[in-house]
Amino acid sequence: MLTGSPARQRQVDYQAILEEISTQVRQHLGKGKVADYIPALARVPADKFGMAVRTVDGDEYRVGNAEEPFSIQSISKLFVLMLAVSRLGDLVWTRVGKEPSGDPFNSLVLLEHEHGVPRNPFINAGALVVLDLLMHGVRDSRRLIRDYLRVLSQNFALDFDRHIARSERRHAHTNLALANLMKSHGQIAGHVDRLLDVYCHQCSLAASCLDLARACLPLAASGYSPLLGEAVLTARQARRINALMLTCGTYDSVGSFAYRVGLPAKSGVGGGIVALVPGVLSVAVWSPELDRSGNSYVGTAALELFTTITRHSVF
């Protein structure tokens, strides 16, 4: 992170920028496709759009449906990783790699070739291993994860969508295959069924853009949460999670995403994306239609506009 915050000095008018983006991205509606692998997700209206910014100085900006909760899906992998790293430190990296996989998020191929050790914590296999680690010795893991997100976002109404969680569980065959394959390699300590239950719950967490921008803020602020007035990660941990987001956070289009947007980010098939400008701000966007890689079509376009206008790319 660069010390000092040039953005502050430039007095960027984020509210005007968000509104401009909100107008411009409307042209892209209809170009992507709402996730339909579980029925509950397929029912979300395709034209929802929300975006929220929270600066490290405490200012907040929002546009559209920025306060409406949606299914965060894989964005939960980021919070579970933050939680695991804060509790277990570098132990996490003995069980999961830090490299982009070059394969789809739910591929079993590399797992088989690499002894069940997932390439990174943002593909499904890696997220399952991190969760397995986190669950060890914890009585109520679902609650632990939910409460962590509640505290980070300071929204104590934030909760699972139990309807989504059940639907995920019924369609979890690929994840069951991943978990069982890793179990067969001795990479999963706990019970596969219990692991899948918690995993489906973490994916079903419902949060708004504003909740997510608030909850991610420590990653833009050297691990410090301005909302809590305390550090939730070390500066080094925050910086490194950012690096992982940039190289592995947006499924199998991390290269294109870095090329277009230029920010560390994590996306979910619910249509949400969170991104960070280190030292400056966190931003979250939501639009349900996805591109071929599973990232929000409009959300990516909105973030690309955001870095083009604000020049906030890390590059």
What amino acid positions are annotated as catalytic residues? 74, 77, 199, 251, 269
Total interface residues for a copy of itself by CB under 8 A:
59
Question: 210 is written with which tokens?
Answer: 């504003």
**Which letter does DSSP use for residue 296 in this model?**
B
Partner residues linked to 281 by β-bridges: 55, 277
Min separation Cβ 233 and a copy of itself, Å: 12
Min separation Cβ 302 and a copy of itself, Å: 18
**What is the spatial distance between Cα 26 and Cα 104, in angstroms, rounded to a whole number?**
28
CA-to-CA separations, 95 to 92, 115, 123, 145, 272, in angstroms, rounded? 6, 11, 13, 20, 27
The residue range among 19-27, 56-64, 181-189, 281-289 that interacts with a copy of itself, by the rule CB under 8 A, is 181-189
- Beta-sheet pairing, 272-277 with 265-267: antiparallel
Q: Does 311 bind a copy of itself (CB under 8 A)?
A: yes
Min separation Cβ 99 and a copy of itself, Å: 4
Min separation Cβ 119 and a copy of itself, Å: 7
Nearer to a copy of itself, 26 or 236 (CB): 236
Q: Does 103 bind a copy of itself (CB under 8 A)?
A: yes
Q: Does 39 bind a copy of itself (CB under 8 A)?
A: no
Q: Does 109 bind a copy of itself (CB under 8 A)?
A: yes
Q: Does 90 bind a copy of itself (CB under 8 A)?
A: no
Q: Among residue numbers 113 through 172, which ones bind a copy of itself (CB under 8 A)? A: 113, 119-120
**CA-angle at 6, arms to 217 and 85, nearest 5°:** 25
Amino acid at 23: T
For residues 120, 126, 260, 70, the Cα torsion angle rounded to the nearest 10 degrees is: -160
Q: Does 100 bind a copy of itself (CB under 8 A)?
A: yes
Report the Cα 270 to chain-centroid distance in Å.
Answer: 11
Nearer to a copy of itself, 101 or 202 (CB): 101
Q: Among residue numbers 49 through 88, which ones bind a copy of itself (CB under 8 A)? A: none
The residue range among 44-52, 94-102, 160-168, 209-217 that interacts with a copy of itself, by the rule CB under 8 A, is 94-102
Per-residue x/- mask for a copy of itself, residues 184 to 223, rule CB under 8 A? x-------x-------------------------------
CB atoms within 10 A of CB 128: 26
Amino acid at 14: Y
CB atoms within 10 A of CB 207: 30
Report the Cα 101 to chain-centroid distance in Å.
Answer: 17
Q: Does 11 bind a copy of itself (CB under 8 A)?
A: no
**Which letter does DSSP use for residue 99 in this model?**
S
- Beta-sheet pairing, 50-55 with 281-286: antiparallel
Q: Which strands, in side-by-side order, build the sheet including 60-64?
A: 60-64, 50-55, 281-286, 272-277, 265-267
Q: Does 266 bind a copy of itself (CB under 8 A)?
A: no
Of positions 140, 170, 243, 292, contacts a copy of itself by CB under 8 A: 243
Of positions 107, 155, 202, 267, contacts a copy of itself by CB under 8 A: 107
Binding site for a copy of itself (CB under 8 A): 1-4, 6-7, 9-10, 97-103, 107-110, 112-113, 119-120, 173-174, 176-181, 183-184, 192, 238-240, 242-244, 246-248, 252-256, 258-259, 262, 264, 278, 280, 311-315
